[in-house]
Every structure is written in C-alpha cells, then in structure tokens.
Amino acid sequence: MPAKISEFPRLILDKFKQKKQLKKYPDFAIHLQKLVNHPDWKKMLHYNPIRAEHEMKWSLESRFPGRKIEKINVGYHSSIIAFDSGDINNIQDIHLTYP
C-alpha cells in the first residue's frame, strides 16, 4: 500500500536519511541486495510472508498489552515498524485474543 498523503513529509525525510546512509556506507546496498536475492531469503518469505501493518499491529499489541508498535521508516510502498515486547524474563502466560 503506498504511503498516505499525510505521511509524505516523513517519507521525504526518511528517503533523505536513506540516501545519506548509503553514501556513508556504500557496501550496505551491495550486501542487502545479496541477502534478498539469496534462495534462503525467498524460502524464509515463503514461511513468513510480509504482513500488512494493521495485522502486525493487532498481532503484537494484543499479545503484549500496554506495548505499541512504532513506525521507524516510511517508504513509498512499505514501512518498517519496531516493537519492544519488554523484558522477556518478566513475561507471564500470554492469552491470545482474536477479533
């Protein structure tokens, strides 16, 4: 799903940051391309397909009450989210909820 109009300022900022990082670390793009073209990457995606943002939000936030996803990068066709589940040593039984 393309970025929303309201996300365009963030998209432009994130694209600028990405270009700056690629200039600073030129080998990153080469290694990233090598990673995503590897057969094991394609196999991983077969078993763990990319999910819609609302699916990830529901899945993670319903299993870890009080925790929220954070969008850390906005792209034109996709975004990257982060999630802090907290200290795993203190996790109790997680009761799954379904819509």
Domain-by-domain residue ranges, the chain? 5-90
Q: Which of 49, 53, 69, 41 is nearest to 2 (CA)?
A: 53
Mean pLDDT of 8-12: 95
pLDDT at position 90 is 63
CA angle (7, 58, 46) in 5-degree steps? 90
- 31 band by pLDDT with thresholds 50, 70 and 90: very high
Global model pTM greater than 0.85: no
Least confident among 29-43, 47-61, 79-93:
79-93
What tens digit of pLDDT does each residue of 59-97 get?
888 888 889 999 999 998 889 999 998 877 766 666 655
Taking a C-beta distance cutoff of 8 angstroms, is the pair 82, 70 a contact? yes
Pairwise CA distance, residues 50 & 48, whole Å:
7
**CA pair distance 81, 51, nearest whole angstrom:** 11
Average pLDDT, integer, range 49-67: 88
Distance CA 95, CA 93 (A): 6
Count CB-CB contacts under 10 A for residue 12: 12
Query: Over the chain, what is the mean pLDDT?
Result: 88
